[in-house]
C-alpha cells in the first residue's frame, strides 16, 4: 500500500507503521507475503530517517523481499511525475536503490510503473514509439542494476486489457534489453465488464513467453467502508481464480483508495492483514457429473481429504437458447450524500462494451433495511412503461415475463439503449439490496449492464453495476457426506445445451470451489 498517494492526500492509516515493529499482530499473514513494494515518493521522503532503516530491517528480518515502484521514463516539460504516472527517470531510481543499499537493504525487484502506458495514451507531447519507450526505460534499469545487478525487472501496466498491446510492449522490451522481462504485472481496470476474460487472455499470453504473470486485486475508490472495500477485493480474486480459472504467479493486494483504514490485527475481519489471510486460505476442489436424473460429486481440500458437512449448490446455466429467468443482485450501503436513486440498464452505452443483446427484464426491486415494499415505481412493469425512460435505437417492447409484463430488448452491435426508472427516495447510511430479475440470452454477455445510480441535487453520487450475462437457475442445495460426496436429484432442465454447475461457497477456512459439466436436453 502507498500511504502517500491515497487520492492524492497524505493519509496514513493509524496503524501503518505498526506493521513494521517486532511482534506486530500479523505473524501468520506475514509468512505468506513474499515481497513488499515501496513507492519511490515514500522512499524519497523517508530515506534519511531512522524509521526508514527500521522498516527495511524489519521487512527483511521477516524473510520478505523488497521492491520499489517508479516511473521509468525521463521527465521532460509537462511529462513529469507530478502530472503523468510513468515519468520519473534514471536518477531518482538510482538514488532510491542507493538509499536502500545504504541502510543494509537488498533490492529484489524494480517495478517499471506504467511507462509504456504513459507514453502511449497521454498528452501527445509525451508520446513515444514502443521502441523509444523501451530505450528510455533501459537507462533507468541500468541505474538500478549499477547498485543491485541481480534485481529483477518487470512492468506494471494496464495495456487497456489488450493482448496485442501487451505483445507489442513486450517485444519492444526484449529487442532493447536482449531478453524477456522477468514478469508482467497487470493493473486492472475493473470497470471493464469483461475484465476477467481479458485478464485471463493476457495471463495465458504472458506465460506462453516464459514470463511470470501477476495481477493487482483491490476494491473501488468510492467504496464506503473498510468492509465494503475488502469484500469487493475478495469477490474479485475469487471471480478471477475460481470462476475464470486464473492462476497468477504473483498477486498484489494493494490500495491507493481511502479504505481500508486499518491494517491490524490479522485476526479481525475488516483489516488489510485479515484480507491477506483470506487469500492465503487453503484451496478446495470440487467435481460434478451426471448419472440419469442425478448430479453427483465430491468436495475435497487441496490435499485430497474429504470435506464433510459443507454446503454445495447445484445450478444450471443455459449455453444455447434464450436463457432462463434469474436474479442479478447487489447489496451495499447508501452513500452519505445521496438523497434519491434510479435503476435501469445500459446496452452498448456508457460502457467500454460492444455486443448483441437479447433479454427480458421482468422486474427490479430495491429494498432498504426495514422495508416491506419495493421502492422502485412500477418495478414490475404492471403499468407498462409508465415512469420508465427508454432511449436509443435498440428494439424494445413489452413481452410476457415470469410473472406478468416484462420489458423485452433486442440490440445489434451497432445499436444502443438506455433505461431509467422514475427516481425514488433513499436513506443515507442505510443498507440496501437491489435485485434485477431477467432472462438473458447467453450470447448477450459483454453488451452492457444493469445499474443502480445514487444521486443528489448536484448529480450522480455513485453507480453500482451488474454485467448483463446469461443467468443461472438454482436446481438444488445439499450437504456433503462424511466422505465429501453429494448426490442430488435434478428437476426439469432447460432445453438445449447447458452448463450444470456445482458450487461450494467457501468459508473462513477454505476457498470456494466450482465445477461444471455440459448437459443436453
- Are 255 and 5 in contact by the 8 Å Cβ rule? The answer is no
- Secondary structure of residue 504 in the 3-state scheme: strand
Integer Cα distance of 336 and 140 in angstroms = 45
Distances (CA, A) of 54 to 12, 17, 29, 47: 18, 10, 20, 11
Same-fold call for 17-280 versus 284-319+472-520: no
The answer to whether the predicted template modeling score (pTM) of the entire model surpasses 0.85 is: yes
> Over its length of 521 residues, how does the chain's per-residue pLDDT go in tens digits?
444 333 334 457 889 999 999 999 999 999 999 999 999 999 999 999 899 999 999 999 999 999 999 999 999 999 999 889 999 999 999 999 999 999 999 999 999 999 999 999 988 999 999 999 999 999 999 999 999 999 999 999 999 899 999 999 999 999 999 999 999 999 998 988 899 999 999 999 999 999 999 999 999 998 989 999 999 999 999 999 999 999 999 999 999 899 999 999 999 999 999 999 999 999 999 999 999 899 999 999 999 999 999 999 999 999 999 999 999 999 999 999 999 999 999 999 999 889 999 999 999 999 999 999 999 999 999 999 999 999 999 999 999 998 899 999 999 999 999 999 999 999 999 999 999 999 999 999 999 999 999 999 999 999 999 999 999 999 999 999 999 999 999 988 888 899 999 999 999 999 999 999 999 98
Cis peptide, bond prior to residue 265, ω within 30 of zero: yes
Cis bond leading into 458, ω under 30°?
no
As a whole number of angstroms, the distance between CA 137 and CA 110 comes to 12
CATH number of 284-319+472-520: 2.60.40.10
Residue 288 DSSP one-character state: -
Fold of domain 17-280: TIM Barrel (3.20.20)
Cα distances (Å, whole numbers) of residue 289 to 182, 245, 313, 518, 521: 40, 19, 14, 9, 15
Domain boundaries in the chain? 17-280, 284-319+472-520, 326-444+452-461
Amino acid at each position: 500500500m502507498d500511504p502517500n498517494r491515497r487520492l492524492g492526500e497524505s493519509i496514513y492509516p493509524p496503524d501503518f507503521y505498526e506493521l513494521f515493529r517486532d511482534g506486530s499482530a500479523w505473524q501468520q499473514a506475514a509468512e505468506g507475503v513474499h515481497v513488499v513494494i515501496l513507492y519511490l515518493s515514500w522512499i524519497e521522503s523517508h530515506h534519511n530517517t531512522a524509521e526508514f532503516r527500521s522498516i527495511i530491517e524489519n521487512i527483511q528480518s521477516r524473510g520478505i523481499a523488497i521492491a520499489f515502484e517508479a516511473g521509468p521514463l525521463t521527465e521532460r516539460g509537462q511529462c513529469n511525475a507530478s502530472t503523468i504516472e510513468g515519468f520519473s527517470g534514471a536518477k531518482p531510481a538510482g538514488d532510491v536503490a542507493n538509499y536502500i543499499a545504504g541502510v543494509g537493504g537488498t533490492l529484489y525487484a524494480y517495478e517499471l510503473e506504467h511507462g509504456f502506458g504513459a507514453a502511449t495514451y497521454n498528452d501527445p507531447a509525451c508520446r513515444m514509439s514502443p521502441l523509444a519507450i523501451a530505450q528510455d526505460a533501459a537507462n533507468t534499469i541500468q541505474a538500478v542494476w549499477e547498485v543491485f545487478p541481480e534485481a529483477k525487472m518487470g512492468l506494471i501496466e494496464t495495456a487497456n486489457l489488450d493482448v496485442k498491446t501487451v505483445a507489442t510492449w513486450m517485444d519492444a522490451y526484449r529487442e532493447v534489453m536482449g531478453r524477456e522481462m522477468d514478469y508482467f504485472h497487470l493493473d486492472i481496470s475493473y470497470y471493464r465488464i469483461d475484465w476477467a476474460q481479458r485478464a485471463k487472455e493476457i495471463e495465458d499470453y504472458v506465460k506462453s513467453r516464459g514470463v511470470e504473470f501477476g495481477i493487482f486485486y483491490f476494491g473501488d475508490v468510492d467504496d464506503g467502508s473498510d468492509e465494503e472495500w475488502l469484500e469487493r477485493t475478495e469477490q474479485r480474486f475469487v471471480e478471477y481464480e475460481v470462476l475464470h480459472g486464473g492462476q497468477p504467479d504473483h498477486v498484489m493486494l494493494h490500495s491507493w483508495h481511502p479504505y481500508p483504514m486499518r491494517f491490524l490485527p490479522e485476526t479481525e475481519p475488516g483489516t488489510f492483514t485479515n484480507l491477506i489471510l483470506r487469500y492465503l486460505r487453503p484451496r478446495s476442489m470440487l467435481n460434478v457429473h451426471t448419472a440419469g436424473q442425478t448430479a453427483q460429486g465430491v468436495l475435497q481440500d487441496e490435499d485430497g481429504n474429504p470435506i464433510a458437512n459443507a454446503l454445495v449448490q447445484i445450478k444450471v446455466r443455459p449455453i444455447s437458447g434464450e436463457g432462463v429467468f434469474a436474479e442479478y443482485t447487489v447489496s451495499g450501503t447508501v452513500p452519505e450524500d445521496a438523497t434519491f436513486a434510479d435503476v435501469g440498464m445500459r446496452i452498448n452505452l456508457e460502457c467500454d462494451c460492444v455486443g448483441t443483446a437479447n433479454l427480458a427484464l421482468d422486474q427490479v426491486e430495491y429494498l432498504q433495511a426495514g422495508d416491506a415494499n419495493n421502492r422502485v415505481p412500477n418495478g414490475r412493469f404492471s403499468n407498462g412503461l409508465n415512469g420508465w425512460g427508454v432511449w436509443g435505437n435498440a428494439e424494445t417492447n413489452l413481452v410476457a415475463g415470469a410473472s406478468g409484463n416484462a420489458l423485452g430488448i433486442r440490440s445489434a452491435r451497432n445499436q444502443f439503449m438506455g433505461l431509467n426508472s422514475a427516481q425514488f427516495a433513499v436513506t443515507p447510511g442505510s443498507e440496501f439490496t437491489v435485485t434485477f430479475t431477467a432472462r438473458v440470452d447467453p450470447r448477450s454477455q459483454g453488451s452492457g449492464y444493469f445499474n443502480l445510480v445514487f444521486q443528489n441535487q448536484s448529480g450522480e453520487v455513485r453507480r453500482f453495476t451488474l454485467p448483463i450475462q446469461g443467468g443461472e437457475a438454482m436446481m438444488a442445495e445439499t450437504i456433503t457426506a462424511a466422505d465429501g460426496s453429494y448426490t442430488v436429484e435434478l428437476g426439469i432442465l432447460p432445453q438445449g445445451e447447458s452448463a450444470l454447475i456445482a458450487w461450494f461457497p467457501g468459508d473462513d477456512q477454505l476457498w470456494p470451489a466450482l465445477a461444471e459439466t455440459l448437459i443436453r436436453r
